[in-house]
Amino acid sequence: MATSNDSSQLPAYLQDENLTEECKELIRTLPTSNGRDWLWTLHLYQGFWFTARHLNGVLLARRHFRAADSDILLVAGPKTGTTWLKAVLFALQKRSCYSEPDRKSNHPLLQKNPHELIPYLEFTLYLKDQDPDLSGLTSPRMFATHMPLGSLP
């Protein structure tokens, strides 16, 4: 079993590589689990425990994300049915695009995972690119997050 000292065995979303300097400096000031109680090290930020990589994504999203009035943001805690909620949200929002019989067979949910259709702010968008260009997304833009209310941008 992987421990916090064996980062090569951890999945990418738990590794501490490529953290911003802002995140590294913040982590030095935060209460930290020692890895004994969990399988990996966690940091207490604004009353919630985050892995370093998740915290890095939260900080980048807070710094760079600017919501549009028409944005739809699905906010749900981990392991609360987010995948299912993303599928329902996408199906409801795009129902007029795929209502004709010949278009139903081309529905994106038949070919893609809901996580590909509605990206996570802190896990997908801001970890891949510190300041992604979201201007090409059609309105209403749909995003998901596991960030607690106090951490939202």
DSSP letter for each residue of 39-81 = SS--EEETTEEE-HHHHHHHHHHHHH----TT-EEEE--TTSS
Q: Using an 8 Å Cβ cutoff, are 11 and 19 in contact? A: no
Among residues 54, 107, 115, 146, which one is catalytic? 146
Q: Is 64 a catalytic residue?
A: no
**Pairwise CA distance, residues 95 & 138, whole Å:** 15
Q: Hey, which residues are catalytic here?
A: 146
